[in-house]
Amino acid sequence: MKKKLILIVEDEEDILELLEYTLQKEGYETIGCLNVNSVLNKIIEEEEIDLILMDRNLPGIDGTTFINTIRKKGINAPVIYVTAKDRDEDILEGFENYADDYITKPFNLKELSARVKAVIKRTAKEVEILKVKDIVYKANNKKFYIDDKAIELTHLEHDLLLEFVKNKDILLSREHLLNTVWEDSFDKKLKTVNVAIKRLKTKIDPKGKKEYIKSIRGEGYIFC
């Protein structure tokens, strides 16, 4: 099983080293940063950050400001603020700025490890990423990407593509797709499936060169 990856942003080097050492002993992989200058690139490179431990008292910037910045860029990894800002209003401000938990300094390492484990367990499904060929699905924002560009899909097209991605190389009949994707819709006709798949194909493969979805005459479709 792939180890969970934790990004730690802490400007005090001794605390950063202590956090990395502790969490690595717990079985996590870590990326440690003393400032935010290179953080965004690291997140983009890794893409599968499972948790961010973020100090708030960083040189020239509050950690909450930085988290707001990366949220606007579509980076939605869960966040625990680890900070000396311990007033009630500070803690409230943290939770108003995407905190999944808030730990004040000085902290107990065993408690911190327990909270890290709890947040990762609670948010694991939210940061799930599926990748098939060059299509990436991020469950946290329910979007599909090709070459890092979001594909604009309707709700139906989203559910249809997700069903294909989850069943790569498996023949799916039109009846299966109607019952799984359309569910209780009044428009449950076999022809509806053909039309929806044709629309979906033009969105994920506008030039018609990749052949993600193949039609098997009289049987259904295969995503391969």
| Domain CATH number, residue 182 | 1.10.10.10
Predicted local confidence at residue 166, as pLDDT? 86
Instruction: Say if residue 189 is in the same domain as residue 113.
Output: no
pLDDT band at 218 (very low <50, low <70, confident <90, very high): confident
Q: In this predicted model, what pLDDT tens digit does every residue of 122-135 receive, in sequence order?
A: 877 655 678 888 89
166-200, pLDDT tens digit by residue? 888 899 998 888 888 886 555 556 678 888 999 99
Contacts of 57 (CB under 8 A, 6+ apart): 11, 63, 83, 84, 85
Residue 14 confidence (pLDDT)? 95
In this predicted structure, what is the pLDDT of residue 182?
80
Is there a single domain that holds both residue 24 and residue 94? yes
**pLDDT surpasses 90 at 20:** yes
What is the pLDDT at residue 188? 58
pLDDT for residue 63: 92
Taking residues 116-120, what's their average pLDDT? 92
Digit-coded pLDDT (tens) for 30-71: 999 888 886 766 665 565 788 999 999 988 889 999 999 888
Take residue 45 and report the two structure tokens written for it: 């490179």
pLDDT of residue 42: 65
At 134-171, the pLDDT tens digits run 898 887 778 899 988 899 998 889 989 999 988 888 99
- In the chain, the number of structural domains is 2
pLDDT value at position 77?
87
- Cα 48 to Cα 107: distance, rounded to the nearest angstrom: 27
The DSSP annotation for the chain comes to -PPPEEEEE-S-HHHHHHHHHHHHHTT-EEEEESSSTTHHHHHHHH----EEEE-SEETTEEHHHHHHHHHHTT----EEEEES--SHHHHHHHHHTTEEEEEESS--HHHHHHHHHHHHHHHGGGG-EEEETTEEEETTTTEEEETTEE----HHHHHHHHHHHHTTT--B-HHHHIIIIITT-S---HHHHHHHHHHHHHHH-TTS-S--EEEETTTEEEE-
The pLDDT value recorded for residue 194 is 86
pLDDT(18) > 90: yes
The two tokens of residue 68 are: 């707001």
77 shares a domain with 153? no
- Please check whether residues 117 and 55 belong to one and the same domain: yes
Both 200 and 178 in one domain: the answer is yes
Q: Are residues 155 and 103 in the same domain?
A: no
**Mean pLDDT, rounded, for 10-30:** 94
pLDDT value of residue 84: 94
pLDDT of residue 87: 93
Q: Are residues 144 and 216 in the same domain?
A: yes
Residue 204: pLDDT over 90: yes
Question: What is the domain extent for residue 13?
Answer: 5-127
- Separation CA 29–CA 158 (nearest Å): 32
